[in-house]
Structure 1
Amino acid sequence: MQQIRVLIVDDSASVRQTLVDVLESEPDIAVMGTASDPFVAARRIQEEVPDVILLDVEMPRMDGITFLRKIMAQRPIPVIMCSAVIDERSSLLIEAMEAGAVDVIVKPRVDTKQYLMESRVRICDAVRAAAKARLTGLGRRHATPRPVQEKLTADAVLPPPTPRSRDVGETETIVCIGASTGGTESLKAVLEVLPADCPPILIVQHMPEKFTEAFARRLDGLCAMEVKEAEDGDLVTRGRVLIAPGNRHMLLQRSGQRYTVQIKDGPLVARHRPSVDVLFRSAARTAGSNGVGIIMTGMGDDGARGLLEMKQTGAHTIAQDEASCIVFGMPKEAIALGCVDRIVPLDLLPVEITRAGNR
Structure 2
Amino acid sequence: HKKVKAIVIGASTGGPKVLFEIVRSLPKALNLPVFIVQHMPKGFTKSFAERLDSECALKVVEAEDNMDIRSGMVYVAPGDYHMVIEGEKLRLNQKPKLHGVRPAADYLFESAAVKYGKGLLAVILTGMGKDGASGMISIKDEGGYNLAQNKETCVVYGMPGFAVSSGVVDEILAPEEISEHILKIVKVKNGTGI
SS in 1 for 2:121: strand
CA distance in 1, matches of 2:187, 2:86: 22
Is residue 4–residue 185 contact of structure 2 (8 Å, CA) maintained in 1?
no
2:191 alignment partner in structure 1: none
Aligned pairs for 1:129-140 within 5 A:
none
1:238 alignment partner in structure 2: 71
1:187 alignment partner in structure 2: 19
2:56 alignment partner in structure 1: 223
Is residue 197–residue 238 contact of structure 1 (8 Å, CA) maintained in 2?
no
CA distance in 1, matches of 2:122, 2:82: 17
> CA 1:261–1:171 in structure 2 vs 1: closer, same or farther (change >3 Å)?
farther
Normalising by structure 2, what TM-score?
0.91
Is residue 311–residue 317 contact of structure 1 (8 Å, CA) maintained in 2?
yes
Higher relative contact order (CA 8 A, sep 6+): 2
CA distance in 1, matches of 2:74, 2:109: 16
Aligned pairs for 1:144-293 within 5 A:
173-198=5-30, 199-254=32-87, 259-293=88-122
CA distance in 2, matches of 1:293, 1:211: 23
CA distance in 1, matches of 2:162, 2:179: 22
CA root-mean-square deviation: 1.6
Give the C-alpha shift of residue 358 in structure 1: 3.2
CA distance in 1, matches of 2:25, 2:116: 25
Post-superposition CA distance 1:245-282 (Å, at most 9, x none): 0000000122xxxx321111110011110001111111
SS in 1 for 2:19: helix
CA distance in 2, matches of 1:235, 1:355: 27
Q: Mind listing any 5+ residue stretches in structure 1 that lack a counterpart? A: 1-169
Q: Which of 151, 175, 178 is the equivalent residue of 1:349?
A: 178
Name the aligned partner's letter for residue 189 of structure 1. Answer: E
2:192 alignment partner in structure 1: none
Aligned pairs for 1:322-341 within 5 A:
322-341=151-170
Name the aligned partner's letter for residue 129 of structure 2. Answer: G
Name the aligned partner's letter for residue 291 of structure 1. Answer: L
Give the C-alpha shift of residue 288 in structure 1: 1.1
CA distance in 1, matches of 2:174, 2:4: 25
CA distance in 2, matches of 1:181, 1:253: 28
Normalising by structure 1, what TM-score?
0.50
Post-superposition CA distance 1:289-337 (Å, at most 9, x none): 1111110000110000111110111001110111111111100100000
Post-superposition CA distance 1:138-174 (Å, at most 9, x none): xxxxxxxxxxxxxxxxxxxxxxxxxxxxxxxx98611
Structure 1 segments (4+ residues) deviating >3 Å: none
CA distance in 2, matches of 1:354, 1:343: 16
Is residue 191–residue 223 contact of structure 1 (8 Å, CA) maintained in 2?
yes
SS in 1 for 2:92: strand
Is residue 10–residue 36 contact of structure 2 (8 Å, CA) maintained in 1?
yes
Q: Mind listing any 5+ residue stretches in structure 2 that lack a counterpart? A: 189-194
SS in 1 for 2:68: coil
2:131 alignment partner in structure 1: 302
